[in-house]
Chains A and B, each alone.
Chain A
Amino acid sequence: MTNAIELDDVSFGYDRRRPVLKGITMSIPRGQVVAIMGGSGCGKTTILRLIGGQLRQQHGQVKVDGASVRDLGREELYALRRRIGMLFQFGALFTDMTVFENIAFPMREHTDLSDALIRDLVLMKLHAVGLRGAAQLKPSELSGGMARRVALARAVALDPMLVLYDEPFAGLDPISLGVVGQLIRRLNDALGITSVIVTHDVYESLKIVDYLYFVSEGRIIAQGTPDEVRNSADPFVRQFVDGEADGPVPFHYPARSYAEELAAGAN
């Protein structure tokens, strides 16, 4: 059986001067929940966009379900995307629709289900994220965390075979955080789907994932099962797990030295 997702030596840059990904290799087996972790701006969202075919890598191969995403035609790509759910980092809810219509949107676009059936399905998804009562609100009336949960419900609206979560835990209180984590795990196991979670939250992800990748400066610098990660002596991993500011993962975007820059301003 092929893996759900396969990245082989993938390199990508938004422009030629600054590569964002430099030779990423990872394979994500079917039915697993896999986390991609890394500092801010290290290219995690970019990896998800490559998997979804919104960006095309300059080098290497991205395979989803055995097919090379870059080489798919428009129709094939759309057919593939119909089986992928994606939670966007900033929610990306449709602001001119209610919460209900947002979740009904993919169903209305891709199925001929009756209105009554769609209503039941939408309420079911909303119930799962604890927002059945907010069905008639507009996205502008939601808090950040609520919007994220709605986006999550929308991502799984069509019961996809693969779900990509970009920061599902950001902006959630500890209770919803645990609930959403469990929800991702349960959805994954109940529907037999594959989940990729991009997150900073080591603690929460260690509880639910099967495997973790650590990305830094466009490369995978560590990987392993939760147990391996917990017991790892790797300084990168330790920095993440223990949440230390200083360590091998740089906090600063590449720049001249601070002192140098201040001195330049003084002249």
Chain B
Amino acid sequence: MPTKPLANGLRRIGAGTIRAVSRMGFAARFFVAVLYHSPAALRRIPLTLREVYFAGVLSLVVIIVSGVFVGMVLGLQGYDTLNLYGAGDSLGLFVGLSLVRELGPVVAGLLFASRAGSAITAEIGLMKTTEQLSAMEMMAVDPLARIVAPRFWGGVISMPLLAALFSVMGVFGAYVVGVRLIGVDSGTFWGNMQAGIEFRPDVTNSIIKSVVFGVAVSLIAVFEGYDAKPTAEGVSAATTRTVVEGSLAILALDFILTVFMFRGVGDV
């Protein structure tokens, strides 16, 4: 029958949709459960500090190095393009705006998802695979409070700090290229930047973005770990999903946030 492949295809789409929606519902319930267990977890500061160490401190190097390089490239390309219009002096503004409004939170978020998010997923997934989570439950210790919530908050705390650091390193990289190498006047560089970038809304929105990304990536990471199939392939698939879903979530959220935050800033 010729309609058979069509019907099968539709059925597959339907099944996939149902699965996706039910997974999202499950993730939302999971989020509520994590929040519910957060006060207890946060009261034990060392648990969360330890996760700030793993999510934040261990991401420092990659964030600093990437930040400097992205800034240097921005400096080079930005100056080239701006100079076409005789606006090479606006380099500071161009670099500062790109980093603060977009690249800082977004690139730091992408790096965070692949560096820290994947590690969180793999760790929780392996704990599940080796029955450590079960063992904890049998000891009347809720893994959501003891394992998941501290990792979630460790990520949420680390992310804005990493994003700010990324932006600063980027500005520094652009400064090195623009001022030291190309010879833009240092005063012009900073002056243009300061004249064009406002604490509110530019810097505050940057921080809001990075917090939102931190929540999204950390939630995806702990959820995928907790939900992983308890096998080696299950954990590896979950780790991949964290990176993919985390990155897509960041890009999508960035678009939505940008629409809300900066619409109307430029116009009256």
A–B contact, 8 Å CB criterion (strictly below) = yes
Q: Taking beta carbons and an 8 Å cutoff, which residues of A are in contact with B?
A: 52, 54, 78-79, 81-82, 84, 86, 88-90, 92-96, 105-106, 109-110
A88 touches B131 (CB 8 A): yes
Point out the residue from B123, B132, B138 that lies within 8 Å of A86, measured CB to CB.
Answer: B138
Given A105-B139, A106-B139, A109-B141, A54 and B134 contact (CB-CB distance below 8 Å): yes
Instruction: Choose one: B132, B138, B140; the contact of A94 (CB below 8 Å).
Output: B132
Closest 5 CB pairs of A and B: A92-B135, A92-B131, A81-B140, A78-B140, A82-B140
Verify A81–B139 contact, CB threshold 8 A. yes
In the complex, what residues of A have CB within 8 A of residue B138's CB?
Answer: 52, 54, 81, 84, 86, 88
Question: What CA separation (Å) do A110 and B127 show in the bound complex?
Answer: 21
Cβ distance B142 to chain A, nearest Cβ, rounded Å: 8
Count B-side interface residues using an 8 Å CB cutoff. 16
Contact A110 B135 (CB under 8 A): no
Q: Which residues of B contact A81 (CB under 8 A)?
A: 137-140
Is the beta-carbon distance between A92 and B141 smaller than 8 angstroms? no
User: CA separation between A78 and B140, bound complex, in Å?
Assistant: 5
**Interfacial chain A residues near B142, Cβ < 8 Å:** 78
A residues within 8 A CB of B231?
A: none
Question: Given A54-B138, A86-B138, A110-B140, list of 11 further CB < 8 A pairs?
Answer: A54-B134, A78-B140, A84-B138, A88-B135, A89-B131, A90-B130, A92-B130, A92-B132, A92-B134, A94-B136, A106-B141
Task: Name the residue on A nearest B135 (C-beta).
Answer: A92
B124 to chain A, nearest CB (A): 11
Q: Which residues of B contact A110 (CB under 8 A)?
A: 139-141
Query: Distance (Å) between the CB of B135 and the closest chain A CB?
Result: 4
- Chain B's nearest CB lies how many Å from the CB of A48? 9
Q: A94 CA to B139 CA in the complex, in Å?
A: 12
Nearest B residue (CB) for A105: B139
Taking the closest CB of chain A, its distance from the CB of B149, in whole angstroms, is 14
A79 to B141, CA, bound (A): 10
22 chain-A/chain-B pairs, Cβ below 8 angstroms: A81-B137, A81-B138, A84-B138, A86-B139, A88-B135, A88-B138, A92-B131, A92-B132, A92-B134, A94-B132, A95-B126, A95-B130, A95-B132, A96-B123, A105-B139, A105-B141, A106-B139, A106-B141, A109-B139, A109-B141, A109-B146, A110-B140
